[in-house]
Amino acid sequence: MRIAIIFLWIIHIAAIIGIALGYEDFFLPKSPFTMIYLLFLLIFFFKIESRKAVLLFIAFMFTGILVEWIGVHTGTLFGDYYYGINFGPKIDGIPVLIGVNWALLTFTTHLISKKFFTSPIAIIASGAALMVGLDFFLEQICDFAGFWHFKNGAGWYNYICWYVVAAILHAIALHFKLKGNKILSYHLYGVQLLFAIGLWIVITI
């Protein structure tokens, strides 16, 4: 697992450096492959050893796709936005990998939260906050990266809806006593946070 994690950090740091040097047309279209690699690490090293955990991941993935579909096609969730070209293949305007990311983020932030808190309310609240925190930084780079585009920017309504949906997923994960690899969770979450913050710095300086 150590080599796989080192490679994970290398490709993200290389992407930030490459984009800073002006090679965004090379790196950004490869974002779906990076997400697939994150999924690969989760499958093989998160220690999803029960049928329950597999079903939870699938349920969270389809929930993510559903809420994004509602958001894109009705504007009643997250605001007025649409997906760009760099998040992989889409079904009716929604990238399949966005569902994977919803599930992956729920799994990893849930394990991180359980490391620091024992209170159910604190676990749910902090897990949802970690997801929204990452979303905040992703919103700063999404247009540049070609991930998704808000017509009037991502406002407070987007973050409230994100938090509510994330909290529901964390409550479900807590109910079913989700377990996994905490160390891997730190890396899977941390590398996405680093990339979002790093790219934000690159495009603003």
The domain locations on the chain are 2-204
33: β partners: none
Helix axes 182-204, 120-145, angle to 10 degrees: 40
Neighbours of 146 (CB within 10 A): 18
Nearest-angstrom CA–CA distance, 95 and 9:
24
pLDDT score at 49: 65
Consecutive 10-residue runs of the chain (205 residues): their mean pLDDT? 94 97 96 95 83 92 97 91 94 96 97 96 98 96 95 89 97 94 96 97 93
Query: pTM of this prediction?
Result: 0.94
pLDDT score at 205: 85
